[in-house]
Homo-oligomer: A and B are copies of this chain.
Amino acid sequence: MGAKERKRVPRAVREQEMLDAAVESFARHGYRAASMDDIAEAAGVSKPLVYQYLHSKEELFTACVRRESATLISAIREATGLEAGQVMPADRQLWNGLCAFFAHTAAHPHGWAVLHQQARTQGEPFATQVAVLRAEMVEVVTRLIGSAAQDAGCDGALAAREVSGLAHALVGSAESMAEWANSRQSDPPSPKETAATLMSLCWPGLENLLNGVRWKPTR
């Protein structure tokens, strides 16, 4: 393909192709080991063009983290009806959110590896960006538990601190299951199966807590 033909590809499209190649390379080799030469080659462009568009390896990685975070959180927000201000029962909302989360992380395993394994371990500014994504996921779940508590007519029965702990537990369990599901070489569960397992594990207890029923060590 000649240089003239290449130029027909708009910059925005070309940048996305560079990010696709970069996400895969960072996921496979890690931030430090990934090479700009390989990324340029995989994107089908010259290395100077990568530098012209994304400036540096750090900025390229930042752009990857930003894009993968944004698409994941928007998939969750859309599925839970938060974008449209939709009202739905809390269990349906949690189910939709988990299905979207596991579907997205299964469809974008390299993006998930960049966020979950690479970005939060490379120091600043990446760790902060991933912390922001995590805070957004916790926020979605916190709002969900809060509105479920209102629905159950037991608003205030759960202390804000415990709601925060529950939201962190749910996000941590979903992150861990996504990593587990993506790492299974054979017989991987479907995103819906993973979501159903986590709903079956967590919803009965959450419903109990919303109704003031707790597990007690002495029973």
A residues whose Cβ falls under 8 Å from a Cβ of B:
30, 91-92, 95, 120-123, 161-162, 164-166, 168-177, 179-181, 184, 187, 189, 194, 196-206, 208-209, 214-215, 217
Contacts and interface: CB of A to CB of B under 8 A. Distances in A.
Contacts of A122: 121
Contacts of A214: 196, 200
A169 B197 contact: yes
A189 B217 contact: no
B168 A172 contact: no
A180 B171 CA distance: 11
Contact of A161 (B92, B189, B201, B204): B189
A203 B197 CA distance: 14
A209 B205 contact: no
A195 to B, nearest CB: 9
Nearest to A168: B180
B200 A203 contact: no
Contacts of A205: 200-205
28 contacts: A30-B123, A91-B215, A92-B217, A95-B217, A121-B122, A164-B180, A165-B181, A165-B189, A165-B194, A165-B197, A166-B197, A168-B176, A168-B180, A169-B174, A169-B176, A169-B177, A169-B198, A170-B173, A170-B201, A171-B176, A172-B177, A196-B215, A200-B208, A200-B209, A200-B214, A200-B215, A201-B205, A202-B202
